[in-house]
Chains A and B, each alone.
Chain A
Amino acid sequence: MNVKGGDAARGLAAAAILGLVAFVLLVQYAPDSVAFSPNNYGWNGLQGVASTYRVNFTTSLATVPPGSVVVVSQPSINFSASDATAVKSFLLGGGTVLVADTSGVANELLARLGSGIALQSQYDVVDRTYNWKSSSVPTALVLPSAKSQFRFLANVTGIALNKPSPLIVTGQAAALAVTSEFSTYSTPDGRVVRGPFVVMAAQKFGSGTLIVIGDSQFLLNSEWTVADNRVLIGNLFANTTVFVDASHWGASSIAQLKAEFGQAYSLVSAVPMRYVAVLFVLGVALALVPSGERKTGRGTTT
């Protein structure tokens, strides 16, 4: 009876481990329809960008390696002082931070960083002339003067947007792209304000660069290949590693799980943990193989 009980326990353990592995693989590779998910092939997914560039998801802004690119897209949880400190340290270390937002939640981060950029999330800019389908999806134009200052604007002229929010740019910040002079937005009291409006701006922090785009959907599958968006994203993401911030999304998402897995993998793959992990796996494997099986394999069954 004891032998049978041990075998049953081992079987359960093996099934649990296989289940865990299957779960991780499903999270990592199975298609889904969650917004901003790297496995989402639909209009609101990030599959296009995530499969073209080295894109990871992170749940800790403090652990992003220097010199890479951090993307903050449509955050729904406010940024703390420690978040801002981590981002500022990352920027001063030469990193690039791309904020793509229309919700206005990123304003907390922009303010804590001391940047001269703020999102006017209460307005949606429309343009009857410069657009890629209709007035609610305008195409912004890159300012020629900005191209000489920021190399990532090379060969970028028009940026396709979706219900963008105008930006307020002051101090050291520089406007990079504006909607055309034909663009407008309406105030709650019915007044129509004429453009051009700044919808993309940047500010240098040490050797790093903060870039703000007033459009949450800039990286989504439905938008990233329109106009010169692909060129701009390529200029920013090529030859580096991109970390999408999943720590400021309210609902638990696949991206957050992927970020957790990624961080766990980074931890386990580092020396000396990798050796410990290998030994652990070997130990588990040996423990799961019944002792009788082992003896039978050597031909000494009694």
Chain B
Amino acid sequence: MTTTVPPSFAKLQDPGTVKVNHDLSALANYYNSTLTKIGTGNFQNASFLLGTFRFVNIPPAVNATAQLANSDLATVNITSANATALFQQAELLVRAKQYVNATALTLAGCALAQQANRSLADFQGPQTARFKTESVPVDMYSVGSKLASDEVRALLSECIHLRDLLGLNGGTSGTAPVLLIGSPQTAIETGGTLKVVGNLTLQGSGVPQQDVLFYLNGTYFGSLTTGSSGDLGGTLRIPFVYTHTVVVQAFVAPNSTINVGGASSNTLVFEILFNETAIVIGDPPAILPTFSFPVEGNLTTVSGVALPDAPVKITFISESLILHTDAKGAFATRLTVPANATDGIYNVYASFAPQGVFGPSFNFTSIQVVHLPMVLKLDAPSLSFPGFATTLTGTAYSNGTAVAGANVTVSSPWGSSSARTDSSGAFRISVPVSALEFAFSRNVSVSASAPQPYVASAVITKSLGLFNILLVVLPAAAIGIVGYEADRLGVFEALKKSRSREEAEYEELFAGQAQDLTALDLEGGPELLEAYRRALGLASKRFAIRFRKSQTIREMTAAVGARDSGEGFRLFRGIMLTAEDLLYSKDFERARLKTALDDLPKLEEAWR
């Protein structure tokens, strides 16, 4: 059952009849929504609204102002979002005493907060004033504007708070102490010890009993406590580091109990020394392309001390990666043989790769890459016909298993076709054979490449037997056309008439004889007369004799006898004399009739 919706296509609306309507209150509403999202920390949705502004229908007159306003809001949105994230991370780092990193994040966050403040001020100031002159009802976005202002102010407050916490306000605060550190060393062995000295003062007086935290490249590695006069000194062990140089800095946390703020020290730069090391790497087995294999080894000093968290560079073919040793100096990874790797031996290099002054340790092992051979079987029909497609079937196997999904391509003189093997490794490809192919065989080559790179490709060539039916049709058509045209031109008719003339001549020649024969009314007479005519015809054809009507049978026999004296003439003469006897003797010996008739085939055979 069908139901027609009446009337058909009734809801269609021609957009050409729709009047363009720019709604400035809709634009103000858009800004209110965007600012509200920024003000409530919904930065992703604000970004979505800003990113789709080009689809908001606004009058061309306000477009320039809107572009500037949107640029401001986009800046406010992204800087506020990033500043919020940075401040949150800085708070976490302060709690973890990661003051160096916390300082960097705080400074970056503060810069973003200030940028947000400037952009929001630009929107709320000049751009809003322009909107007002362009009749945009700016009061409609006052609520969102206030929320955004609150959000930016909160970010600026957070900036000040973190700076205080990290002692970044320096001399601006009366409670900020001064921390100075130094060391008699210029270089440190990785994992070795560092002697440090220093002092903590507040307005020229030492600050006693304060914990001073030491950081190496931003990572905490030890602490010292100031003495009664604010001085500090001691030896700290640095972690295993594998860079050429390191930076050491100290921090002191704020202490509200004695009304002392936090402080960061000057920085010290040291060179890192590496002892002589040794690296050992295990031997992996033979492997197939795309397969992975384990690489493992150890990195120690020559005295057998393991180097923890040390960078080890592994290089294999043209790729390399950096590993880090574990706490026992061991490293391990799995490498994958590239899909395009050919069969052969490949080295895996492992080297200690610090950025130090001593040469790194180095070692290598090797793997053997092999491919599995693919066996391709192809079946083709024993005979194919040009103009039609022929189907090739076959299977692809590797290592006794069907190769599924292999890309099979047939290259033939008539083009290429491709297919994929199914789950049983079988494929079936239809190859169109050109109708203009007249050869009786052609070679086609079938190549297969497995989806698994570790299986080698295979190529097989097969000869296709061909038979073009045009080889029959065209000659037949040609013969037909020639015959038709010959018939139309009267060639056959002429031949027929020519033969008839010859027969008529002979009939005329023997007309009287036939009448005599008819008068005799002898049984077998017509057959003998026919044999007689045939014998004359054979003689005429063989010896090019033109018999005349005036010649007697004996003259004609003599004419033939002058040219042939063999078995043929004997038979010819027998037929001729029998005919003479039939035609002209009063009594005819009937037994001769049969002999003459029997001799005619022999004569035809003799004169053939």
Residues of A within 8 A of B (CB): 35-36, 43-44, 74, 76-78, 102-103, 105, 128-137, 139, 141, 144, 157-158, 162-163, 180-182, 216-217, 220, 222-223, 227, 249-251, 298, 300
Contacts and interface: CB of A to CB of B under 8 A. Distances in A.
B5 A76 contact: yes
Given A78-B3, A137-B18, A158-B54, A129 B12 contact: no
A182 B13 contact: no
Interface in B10-68: 11-16, 18-21, 23, 25-27, 29-30, 33, 48, 51-52, 54-57
14 contacts: A102-B11, A129-B26, A129-B30, A130-B52, A130-B55, A132-B57, A134-B57, A136-B18, A137-B15, A163-B13, A180-B52, A182-B30, A222-B14, A298-B488
A242 B19 CA distance: 33
Given A35-B9, A182-B30, 16 more contacts: A35-B12, A43-B15, A43-B16, A76-B4, A77-B2, A78-B1, A105-B5, A129-B26, A134-B18, A134-B19, A144-B48, A157-B55, A158-B55, A182-B33, A216-B11, A222-B15
A249 B8 contact: yes
B192 to A, nearest CB: 50
Contacts of B54: 158
Contact of A227 (B2, B11, B19, B55): B55
A133 B4 CA distance: 32
A129 B29 CA distance: 8
Most chain B C-beta atoms within 10 Å of own C-beta, residue among A35, A76, A77, A223: A76
B21 A133 contact: yes
Q: What range describes how many residues of B lie at the interface?
A: 20 to 34
Contacts of B21: 133-135
A155 B16 CA distance: 27
Contacts of B3: 77-78
Nearest to A134: B21
Contact of A182 (B12, B26, B488): B26
Contact of B57 (A74, A133, A223, A251): A133
B333 to A, nearest CB: 31
B13 A157 contact: no
Given A129-B56, A133-B21, A182-B30, A157 B51 contact: yes
A133 B18 contact: yes
Contact of B11 (A129, A163, A223): A163
A78 B2 CA distance: 6
Nearest to A34: B9
Contacts of B11: 102-103, 163, 216
4 tightest A-B CB contacts, nearest first: A158-B55, A250-B4, A129-B26, A139-B55
B13 A129 contact: no
Most chain B C-beta atoms within 10 Å of own C-beta, residue among A44, A134, A141: A134
B488 A76 contact: no
Contacts of B48: 141, 144
Nearest to B57: A131
Interface in B143-157: none
Given A133-B15, A134-B18, A134-B20, A157 B4 contact: no
Given A137-B18, A162-B15, A74 B9 contact: yes
B161 to A, nearest CB: 34
Contacts of A131: 57
B4 A141 contact: no
Contacts of B29: 128-129, 182
A47 to B, nearest CB: 15
Contacts of A77: 2-5
Contacts of A105: 5
Contacts of B33: 181-182
Contacts of A220: 12
B15 A129 contact: no
Nearest to B485: A298
Contact of B14 (A44, A128, A181, A298): A44
Contacts of A133: 15, 18-21, 57
Contact of A129 (B2, B9, B18, B57): B57
Nearest to A35: B9
Interface in B93-120: none
Contacts of A298: 488
Contacts of A136: 13, 18
B242 to A, nearest CB: 39
Nearest to B11: A102
A223 B55 contact: no
A128 B8 contact: no
A249 B27 CA distance: 41
A162 B57 contact: no
Given A133-B21, A134-B18, A158-B55, A216 B12 contact: yes
B488 A251 contact: no
A162 B13 CA distance: 7
B23 A129 contact: yes
